[in-house]
């Protein structure tokens, strides 16, 4: 599902898009421009983010937002490192009370795929 209030781009080419209207009549109620760098193109979209360009369908998506988690790292008695759980913020990771006492650090990890679908 497209969030029209957040930044958008084309799926193919990742060209930035700007929304001008969301209340047009008909099957394509969204009015946008697509910024190709040297020029812009105006077109209409349906609510699923599908646009009809050059006699083919293209799609618009939200630009993925960066998402991070914090993961505690522990050392096993044989010296190997392992992880346990992930947390939404560093404070929660550091406050986590576990029966595992040999925590050696906390990693901030950037997730690379979208998790909103």
Contact at 8 Å (CB) between 8 and 62? yes
Q: What is the pLDDT of residue 56?
A: 66
pTM more than 0.85: no
Segment among 1-10, 57-66, 87-96, 102-111 with least mean pLDDT: 57-66
- Does position 98 have pLDDT exceeding 90, yes or no? no
Q: Which residues pair with 107 in a beta bridge?
A: 71
Domain boundaries, the chain: 8-62, 67-111
**Coil, strand, or helix at residue 112?**
coil
Residue 114 tokens, joined: 């979208």
Q: What is the pLDDT of residue 52?
A: 65
pLDDT tens digits, 44-87:
888 888 876 666 678 889 988 888 999 999 998 899 999 988 99
Evaluate if residue 96 carries a pLDDT over 80. Answer: yes
- Strand ranges (E), 1-117: 8-10, 16-21, 30-35, 40-45, 50-53, 56-62, 67-75, 81-87, 103-111
pLDDT at 102 (0 to 100): 86
């Amino acid at each position: 599902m497209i969030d029209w209030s957040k930044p958008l781009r084309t799926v193919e080419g990742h060209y930035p898009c700007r929304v001008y209207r969301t209340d047009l009549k008909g099957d394509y109620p969204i009015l946008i421009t697509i910024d190709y760098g040297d020029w812009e193109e105006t077109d209409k979209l349906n609510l699923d983010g599908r646009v009809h360009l050059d006699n083919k369908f293209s799609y618009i998506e939200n630009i993925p937002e960066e998402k991070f988690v914090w993961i505690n790292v522990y050392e096993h008695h044989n010296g190997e490192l392992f992880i346990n759980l992930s947390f939404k913020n560093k404070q929660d990771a550091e406050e986590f009370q576990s029966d595992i006492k040999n925590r050696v650090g906390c990693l901030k990890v950037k997730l690379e795929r979208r998790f909103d679908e």
